[in-house]
Structure 1
Amino acid sequence: MDAWIWWLIAAVGLGIPLVITAMPEFGMLAVGAVAGAVTAGLGGGMVAQVLVFAVVSTALILVVQPVARRSRRQNPKLSSGIDALRGRQATVLERVDGQGGRIKLAGEVWSARALDSGEVYEPGSLVDVVEIDGATAVVMG
């Protein structure tokens, strides 16, 4: 059997743990094995094949890992769902106090209650959404 076939078998063999463990290093080694297969297919000797495998795998690990670590540490910039509503301003439609009321938030009518039970917000005033508790926006002035 030709050497390039063995390299492709090795690439598939390294791809299996990548899928099972989700460790990207296996994927980088698999790409190195594909590079070794290409080298073998172009007529490179065994030493050249192993060197290409080692260089490509090492380069990928050294370049990709720091980038992946950096992106993992960053918080997502886009909020969605109720997370996107926190901190937004809303307009009071019906008097809001510690017991309840109604606001217009992001184009929709929401039930609301004041964060401080002693506060009262009259219709037309602007409030800030502190949190979403179930289907109720908790607001403050």
Structure 2
Amino acid sequence: MNDIDAWVWWLVAAAGLGIPLVVTAMPEFAMFAVGAVAAAGVAGFGAGIVVQVLVFVVVSVALIAVVRPIAARHRTQRPQLATGVDALKGKQAVVLERVDGSGGRIKLAGEVWSARSLDTDRAYEAGQEVDVVDIEGATAIVI
């Protein structure tokens, strides 16, 4: 045991911290693993055990204090890029067949969609531009 350098033990600890990271998906284990790699680095330069442990603790705590709040903020944000039917909301379309409260056809994003008017008393004639406010199934709701 004494023949193995301290930096090797720190690297073994870093790899050991990677196992619960993969199993539990808790990013804190990755931050501890980075702390262990930093401790392995100072051990490789010949620092004593007190300095190694201090580097491990400081790096791990600093990463948790800095990275966790940033990750939490990103986790609560909605994606900036809308895809699928969400991307069609707010787009303009051209009426192909009269659209009223009971139905009709529009051309939206190069495709023909069934549509109905949001206001059941309102009708849109062919050639008019309308705005898509929602998508219900395969029907665009327009104003």
Letter in 1 for 2:96: L
CA RMSD of aligned residues (A): 1.4
The answer to whether 1:135 aligns with 2:141 is no
Partners of 2:20 and 2:86 lie apart in 1 by 36
SS in 2 for 1:101: strand
Alpha-carbon shift at residue 99 of structure 1 (Å): 2.5
Q: Give the TM-score, by structure 2 length.
A: 0.90
The answer to whether 1:84 aligns with 2:87 is yes
Match of 1:104 among 95, 107, 123: 107
Partners of 2:67 and 2:34 lie apart in 1 by 13
Could you report, residue by residue, the CA deviation over 1:26-77 in whole angstroms, capped at 9, with x for unpaired residues? 1000000011111111111111110111111111111111211222232221
**Which residue of structure 2 lines up, in the alignment, with residue 14 of structure 1?**
17
Letter in 2 for 1:100: G
Letter in 1 for 2:128: S
Match of 2:116 among 113, 116, 123: 113
Q: How many positions carry a matched residue from both structures?
A: 140
SS in 2 for 1:103: strand
Alpha-carbon shift at residue 117 of structure 1 (Å): 3.0
In structure 1, list runs of 5 or more residues that go unmatched. Answer: none
SS in 2 for 1:117: coil
Letter in 1 for 2:99: V
**Which residue of structure 2 lines up, in the alignment, with residue 23 of structure 1?**
26
Please give the residue correspondences for 1:34-113 in structure 2 after superposition, counting only pairs within 5 Å: 34-113=37-116
Higher mean alpha-carbon deviation, 111-120 vs 32-41, is at 111-120
